[in-house]
Structure 1
Amino acid sequence: MFAEERQEKIAELLKEKSSIKVNELSNIFNVSESTIRRDLQEMEAKGLLTRTHGGAVEVKKTNFEPTFEEKEDKKHDEKSDIGKLAASLIEDGDTIILDSGTTTLEIAKHINAKNITVITNSIDIASELSNKEDVELIVTGGTLRKVTRAMVGYLTESSLRNFRVDKAFIGSNGISLEEGITTPNFTEAQSKKAMINVANKVFIAADSSKFNNVSFSVISPIRAVTAIITSSDLDETIIKEYQDAGVEVITKEN
């Protein structure tokens, strides 16, 4: 197989998987890892991918933002597992913030703790919890972003500044050791920052596809979060990279 043909197939694999490792590609194409590294180097020079430690990820525009509906259909089983895992960290009597998002919505669906207070900027989470016993619900208000169904802006941030909570569960589009926690929209990033600023513990709830991605607006550096709750399909080498940097990564197997 010619290098051009192999690189074309690598690009196709990245569209399906978002990220892939050098040893996987070596096995798939039955060539040496050094050959694969040369392929990835050439593809990165052409702007077709971004190389990572031991592999590569699909190139995405930093301001790309899928709609709530598009995200809802993607990785649903993984998000459900994250939701159950995150909900298990909520204890009776807790005060928590649930950021808007498809993954945090799964947390709301699986809450079993009693006598808790939930603050949210999500109309979907508010609807989910509106009839749930043992949950005192506070909705921030703000300007509704239809693309993500999140309430954001001055009113949201002003409301959040009136509280101090035990735990905040934040969604993100990008997680990177170097660039931190990111999201495509600046205004939404400010609302997420306001949530982080009033929480004793901060958990990022995001599936594995968000790792080694970088979006336009910075929410926080990695060191500002307590832990990242993610899906069990995250590569072990990535988990080790984050743990070596002092970042706790929680998955179903943990």
Structure 2
Amino acid sequence: MFAEERQKKISELLKEQSSLKVSALTEIFNVSESTIRRDLQEMDEKGLLTRTHGGAVSNQGTSFEPSFKDKKIEGHHEKVTIAKIASSMIEDGDTIMLDSGTTTLEIAKHIQANKVTVITNSIDIAAVLSNNENVDLIVTGGNMRFTTRAMVGYITENVLKNFRVDKAFIGANGISIEEGITTPNFIEAQTKKAMMNVANKVIIVADSSKFNKVCFSVISPIRAVSSIITSGDLPQETLKNFEDAGVEIILQ
């Protein structure tokens, strides 16, 4: 196979998987790692992808960020399914961090436990929980991003440093063993990271389409995650890889 053909196929694979490893590509094309690295370097120089340690990620989509309105419509049934599982993990007296997002918004709607303290950077979650007399609500404040309706930035992160919580439920746009938990916006990634840093247990809530996707900004390595609650079909190999990495996958 000529280099041009191989590189075209690599581009097609990146559209499907968002990220690829050199080791996997050597097996697919039955060529040496140096050949694949040369292909990736040439494609990087042409702006067709971005080289990473041990592989490459797609340029198309790493910085794409759907709006809160768009995400609220898409996959609503899956979000509710994930939310019901997540809310069942919240016990009486728990202290909880709820990241801003459409899946975490559904979690807020399904909280049944009593005397729960919830800290959130979401005005939408705050509005829902303001009607729940069993919840002690703390809103972080900060600069609100129009796209995601999340409060982020210095004020938000400074407030978060004052707390320690039992569980943090965090949304993500990309989940990868190699690249970790990612999201398109750098500032939002830092706020999510601040939430994770003060939690005893970090639980990622995201549907299966987020697996093996890599976005622009890294929130954390996969080892910082306790569990991932998801829905949909995941290959057994993927489940085993996450299990080997010490991450519990709760699949509905």
Instruction: State if a TM-score over 0.5 links the two structures.
Output: yes
Task: Indicate how the Cα distance of structure 1 residues 184 and 200 shifts in structure 2: closer, same or farther if over 3 A, else same.
Answer: same
Runs of 4+ in 1 over 2 A off after TM superposition: 44-48, 57-61, 232-237
Give 1:197's aligned residue: 197
Q: Distance in 1 between matches of 2:66 and 2:77?
A: 18
Over 3 Å counting, the alpha-carbon distance change for 1:60 and 1:234 in structure 2 is farther
Question: Which AA in structure 2 matches 1:124?
Answer: D
Amino acid paired to 2:77: D
Percent of aligned pairs sharing the same letter: 66
Counterpart of 2:141, as a letter, is G
Q: How does 1:150-189 map to 2 (within 5 A)?
A: 150-189=150-189
Q: Which residue identity lines up with residue 175 of structure 1 in the other structure?
A: I
Using the size of structure 2 for normalisation, the TM-score is: 0.78
In structure 2, give the amino acid aligned to 1:181.
I
- State the TM-score, normalizing by the size of structure 1: 0.77
Which 5+ residue runs of structure 1 have no aligned equivalent?
20-36, 49-56
CA RMSD of aligned residues (A): 2.9
User: Structure 2: which 5+ runs fail to align?
Assistant: 18-27, 30-35, 50-56
**CA drift at 1:60:** 3.8
Q: CA deviation at 1:248?
A: 1.0
Aligned equivalents of 1:60, 1:169: Cα separation in 2: 28
Task: Provide closer, same or farther for how the CA distance between residues 206 and 116 of structure 1 changes in structure 2, counting only shifts above 3 A.
Answer: same
**Change in 2 beyond 3 A, CA 1:59/1:234:** farther
SS in 1 for 2:138: strand
Deviations 1:58-81 (A, max 9, x none): 874211111011111111111111
| Aligned mates of 1:99, 1:117 — CA distance in 2 | 14
SS at 1:187 equivalent:
helix
Matched, 1:119 2:116: no
Query: Within 1, Cα distance between the matches of 2:245 and 2:162?
Result: 33
AA matched with 1:129: L
Of the structure 1 ranges 58-67 and 186-195, higher mean CA displacement relative to structure 2 is found in 58-67
SS in 1 for 2:215: coil
Q: In the TM superposition, what whole-angstrom CA distance separates every residue of 1:154-184 from its partner, at most 9, and x where no partner exists?
A: 1100111111110000111111101100111
Equivalent residue letter for 2:186: F
Alignment of 1:29-178 (within 5 A): 60-178=60-178
For residue 134 of structure 2, what is the amino acid of its counterpart?
Answer: D
* In 2: Cα distance, 1:58 partner to 1:91 partner: 40
Return closer, same or farther for 1:240/1:58 CA change in 2, 3 Å cut-off.
farther
Q: How many residues align?
A: 219
**Whole-Å separation in 2 of the counterparts to 1:216 and 1:174:** 9
Alignment of 1:170-249 (within 5 A): 170-249=170-249
